Chain A
Amino acid sequence: MSTMVLPHEKQSHAHHDDRSFIQKYVFSTDHKIIGIQFLFMSLLFLVLGGGLAMVVRWQLGFPNQPMPGGGFFSEAMMNKGIMLPEMYNASVTMHGTIMVFFAIMPLLVGVWANYLIPLQIGADDMAFPRINMASFWMAFVAGLLMVASFFVVAGPANAGWTGYAPLSANPEYSGVHTGQQLWCLSIILLGFSSLAGSVNYITTIVNMRAPGMTWLRLPLSTWSLFITSILILLAIPVLAGAMILLFFDQTLGTTFYQPEHGGQPLLWQHLFWFFGHPEVYILILPAMGFVSDIIANGSRKPIFGYKAMVFAMAGLAFLSWVVWGHHMFMSGMQPMLGGAFMVSTMVIAVPSAIKTFNWLGTMWRGNIRFHSPMLHAWSFVALFVIGGLSGIFLANTPIDIPLHDTYFVVAHIHYVLFGGSLFGIFGAIIFWFPKMFGRLMNDTLGKIHWAITFVCFNMVFWPMHKLGTMGMMRRIYDPTQYPHLQEATPINHTISLWAFALYGAQIIFVVNFFWSLFKGPKAGNNPWEANGLEWVAPSPPPHGNWDGELLTVYRGPYEYSSPEAEANGTDFILQSEKPSSRQGAPGMAPAGH
């Protein structure tokens, strides 16, 4: 309103913080607090989603044996501690749903887009702080709805995380009524939250960059979050539309997806995967960004091919819109169309390979620091390559026909989502933890956690490729009842034991997290000797981020080991450091040199 407000606002940011506890930590509009709120919420969901995976692994490894703790479940789910198919189906469905929508997606976007974007571009907050706050609380309510569905009659949704119609559309088929409806409502609400978030992220990155922060000086984390936000913005509304039609089928008696009255189950598949494939990139691109930042930092070298990295991410984002049909090769598709989807899918290998070789090129002859964020980033590259290669298998229509809906697909998705995204997330948490909380995480515990997780992960998911080629179906309650899966029993048994070890090993991370939160060594502004603007701010940064100071950016984010830095006796130069010569005046030199 009046122009007098502005100086006052700035002063309150800079000098004193008179917000109440509730304004500061609960209904906070500060992007950093919102990021931390997302972090705690999504880590809780990660534990829950992992627990559901353990339930699934119990049944597959020890079919028809009483599960420890099985007595706590209702008789509709467990018969004297032995899991019923209803329980198994619900666990598979909720594991997928919670991991995709409430763990990995908020861990990548909700946490880091909120926390990092303003800090990396030099803004004091998001463009719309109150919409940002609403975005978290919508996600929180969506999470409550999803959790509530465990406690309703007939249990939670059990039609798979893809919710294929008509199984999901008609309660008569699945036996689940309220649970499936809550599932729809929860995801629609989460969609609103994601939309509010991405409008914010896009506007902030476009409009709120500090002077001198040109597009090609953005850290790759911010680039990846920007591209991801565009994907969310355009993909989520389609999912919301599809979910609303599904919800009407369940509640109003419409038949959009039910063939007996003219509806089309295939319509659901098209809508879902039109969202679903961009979603796959929503779930990997941010991790690629974090890993790029961490690898350049850990190798003490400029990122290899900065522009190529940006264009490769944009290419991946574009391709993600024209490949959704590869999820539907077996749903009944005109072979020519299948061929087109096969070709467009295999083209994805090109930008993925560009990124992979650039990461290797960055590490090549670098002065590598083997700290735990770097180890996680390194495993990201290794495991993402394996997941990417099995993706090429599945993209081929003739190969997909026998492999479709088998454990080969399960192996593929977990190599990309766990081996890729989750390792990237662990690396990012350890890397930015000192900025968030002002203390470093314990590196030794970090390395132990990393090593056990890396080994157990591969022991769990690598043999699943084999199970897939043996013909073990992707969602199968009891594989022992099939003659052709008799040989799979020992493999399943072993996988389950490794899976329990994998889940148990995460305790190390939890202990490290909370111990470091209170007792970790104090981190300075810049514990990793990095270049980004976030490392200029105090750890943790105050409300307003730089004590009201306006930063100017003079250089790209990856000037490690440059001659200019070495002249100063270090191997890094902050982006806001004034150049000593004409080289690197604002708006001139691009990143990476």
Chain B
Amino acid sequence: MDHAVEQMKVDERLEPGVHVYNMKFGMWVFLLSEVMFFTGLIGSYIILRFAHPEMWAEPGKVLNVPLTGFNTFVLICSSVTMVKSFAAIQNGDQAGLRKWLVATVGLGALFLSIQAVEYYKLYHEGFAPSVAMYKAAGGPLYGATFYTMTGFHGAHVTIGVLCLIFTSWRAFKGKYTATSHAGVEIMGLYWHFVDLVWIILFTIVYLM
């Protein structure tokens, strides 16, 4: 994607339009639809849970809150490193950009690994998504909603990590400069959104 070209196209047509380049504007528009997607899932969760509160166990009884609490901290840290990488390239600091991008990739991967371990343990304790295999406290809807919501978030993080690896690869090839770094900026927008969603999911799935 030629960011400079994008940028120039916008400059040419500054008269109408918002003064935000296409890729950034498009990412904001896309994130709006993501908000609706997670709203649908969270809304369904609330409706199912209010109808059958007995299917949910006490917070912390089935789910490992301290471990996931740590994982939440990891993801928040990755948002910080993402901001640092963007700040670095805004100042033209190539080394800083690469360092912080790699750190973000690492933290994202760590989050996914911890989630994988968590899934593995829970599944073997009988906390399964299907009715037939559910043996943990509460009822099968607990497992089904848990895996659906955290799983879709995990899928978003996975896509994010893959895109971050691509962004880092471009950073190492020196594709971003102090004046042209749209890729880093829109990557950051997506990453912060995924982080924000997790804070909401952690609160309602694990803590409530």
Q: Which residues of chain B in 105-133 are interfacial with respect to chain A, using CB atoms and an 8 Å cutoff? A: 129-133
User: Is the pair A234, B26 in contact by a Cβ cutoff of 8 Å?
Assistant: no
Q: Which residues of chain A in 121-166 are interfacial with respect to chain B, using CB atoms and an 8 Å cutoff? A: 127-128
- Most chain B beta-carbon neighbours within 10 Å: one of A236, A237, A274: A237
Bits for A199-211, please: 1 = Cβ < 8 Å to B, else 0: 1101100111111
Q: Is A393 an interface residue (CB 8 A)?
A: no
Shortest CB–CB separation between residue B89 and chain A, in angstroms?
14
30 cross-chain CB contacts under 8 A: A1-B175, A3-B8, A5-B5, A9-B5, A127-B25, A199-B29, A206-B17, A207-B17, A207-B18, A208-B17, A209-B17, A210-B13, A211-B15, A212-B15, A233-B33, A235-B36, A238-B37, A238-B39, A241-B41, A244-B148, A244-B152, A253-B133, A254-B130, A255-B141, A256-B145, A263-B48, A267-B48, A271-B44, A274-B40, A587-B15
Of B9, B18, B33, the contact of A234 (CB 8 Å cutoff)? B33
- Contact residues on A (Cβ < 8 Å of other chain), bracket: 35 or more
Q: 9 other contacts beyond A208-B9, A237-B37, with CB at 8 A cut-off?
A: A5-B4, A9-B5, A127-B22, A233-B29, A234-B33, A237-B36, A237-B40, A254-B131, A262-B139
B15 proximity list for chain A (CB < 8 A): 211-212, 586-587
Q: Is B66 an interface residue (CB 8 A)?
A: no
B144 proximity list for chain A (CB < 8 A): 248, 252, 254-256
Shortest CB–CB separation between residue B171 and chain A, in angstroms?
13
Q: Is A195 an interface residue (CB 8 A)?
A: yes
B-side residues, CB < 8 A to A, are 2-5, 8-10, 12-13, 15-18, 20-23, 25-26, 29-30, 32-34, 36-37, 39-41, 44, 47-48, 51-52, 55, 129-133, 139-141, 144-145, 148, 152, 175, 180
Q: Is A240 an interface residue (CB 8 A)?
A: yes
Shortest CB–CB separation between residue A556 and chain B, in angstroms?
14
User: Is the pair B25, A203 in contact by a Cβ cutoff of 8 Å?
Assistant: yes
User: Is the pair B44, A200 in contact by a Cβ cutoff of 8 Å?
Assistant: no
Q: Is A264 an interface residue (CB 8 A)?
A: yes
Instruction: Contacts A209-B16, A234-B36, A261-B140 given; indicate if A128 touches B55 (C-beta within 8 A).
Output: no
Closest-by-CB residue of B relative to A249 is: B144
Shortest CB–CB separation between residue B205 and chain A, in angstroms?
15
B21 proximity list for chain A (CB < 8 A): 207
User: Is the pair B30, A262 in contact by a Cβ cutoff of 8 Å?
Assistant: no
Closest-by-CB residue of B relative to A239 is: B40
In the complex, the 9 A-B pairs of residues with the closest C-beta atoms, listed nearest first = A253-B130, A241-B40, A237-B37, A254-B144, A209-B16, A207-B17, A237-B36, A238-B40, A127-B22
Of A207, A241, A244, A586, the contact of B13 (CB 8 Å cutoff)? A207
User: Is the pair B13, A256 in contact by a Cβ cutoff of 8 Å?
Assistant: no
Shortest CB–CB separation between residue A238 and chain B, in angstroms?
4
- Most chain A beta-carbon neighbours within 10 Å: one of B18, B51, B152: B51
Shortest CB–CB separation between residue B1 and chain A, in angstroms?
8
Instruction: Contacts A203-B26, A248-B129 given; indicate if A195 touches B33 (C-beta within 8 A).
Output: yes
User: Is the pair B41, A263 in contact by a Cβ cutoff of 8 Å?
Assistant: no
Closest-by-CB residue of B relative to A213 is: B16
Q: Is A242 an interface residue (CB 8 A)?
A: yes
Closest-by-CB residue of A relative to B142 is: A262
User: Is the pair B13, A262 in contact by a Cβ cutoff of 8 Å?
Assistant: no
Of B2, B17, B40, B152, the contact of A271 (CB 8 Å cutoff)? B40
Shortest CB–CB separation between residue B166 and chain A, in angstroms?
15
A241 proximity list for chain B (CB < 8 A): 37, 40-41, 44
Of A198, A203, A270, the contact of B22 (CB 8 Å cutoff)? A203
B131 proximity list for chain A (CB < 8 A): 253-255, 261
User: Is the pair B26, A127 in contact by a Cβ cutoff of 8 Å?
Assistant: yes
A581 proximity list for chain B (CB < 8 A): none
B30 proximity list for chain A (CB < 8 A): 195, 199
Bits for A75-99, please: 1 = Cβ < 8 Å to B, else 0: 0000000000000000000000000
User: Is the pair B26, A262 in contact by a Cβ cutoff of 8 Å?
Assistant: no
Q: Is A245 an interface residue (CB 8 A)?
A: yes
Closest-by-CB residue of B relative to A212 is: B15
User: Is the pair A3, B4 in contact by a Cβ cutoff of 8 Å?
Assistant: yes
Shortest CB–CB separation between residue A330 and chain B, in angstroms?
20
Q: Is A2 an interface residue (CB 8 A)?
A: yes
Please measure, in the bound complex, the distance between the C-alpha atom of A34 and the C-alpha atom of B32, giving whole angstroms.
Answer: 25
Please measure, in the bound complex, the distance between the C-alpha atom of A261 and the C-alpha atom of B55, giving whole angstroms.
Answer: 10
User: Is the pair A263, B40 in contact by a Cβ cutoff of 8 Å?
Assistant: no
Of A253, A261, A586, the contact of B141 (CB 8 Å cutoff)? A261
Please measure, in the bound complex, the distance between the C-alpha atom of A1 and the C-alpha atom of B21, giving whole angstroms.
Answer: 15
Q: Which residues of chain A in 220-239 are interfacial with respect to chain B, using CB atoms and an 8 Å cutoff? A: 233-238
Of A245, A261, A264, the contact of B139 (CB 8 Å cutoff)? A261
Closest-by-CB residue of A relative to B128 is: A253
A22 proximity list for chain B (CB < 8 A): none
Of A9, A206, A242, the contact of B25 (CB 8 Å cutoff)? A206
Shortest CB–CB separation between residue B30 and chain A, in angstroms?
5
Shortest CB–CB separation between residue B92 and chain A, in angstroms?
16
Q: Is A567 an interface residue (CB 8 A)?
A: no
A237 proximity list for chain B (CB < 8 A): 33-34, 36-37, 40
User: Is the pair B51, A262 in contact by a Cβ cutoff of 8 Å?
Assistant: yes
Of B8, B12, B32, B44, the contact of A256 (CB 8 Å cutoff)? B44
Shortest CB–CB separation between residue A189 and chain B, in angstroms?
15
User: Is the pair B16, A211 in contact by a Cβ cutoff of 8 Å?
Assistant: yes
Shortest CB–CB separation between residue A583 and chain B, in angstroms?
20
Please measure, in the bound complex, the distance between the C-alpha atom of A51 and the C-alpha atom of B4, giving whole angstroms.
Answer: 50
Shortest CB–CB separation between residue A299 and chain B, in angstroms?
28
- Most chain A beta-carbon neighbours within 10 Å: one of B36, B129, B131, B140: B36
Bits for A265-285, please: 1 = Cβ < 8 Å to B, else 0: 001001100100000000000
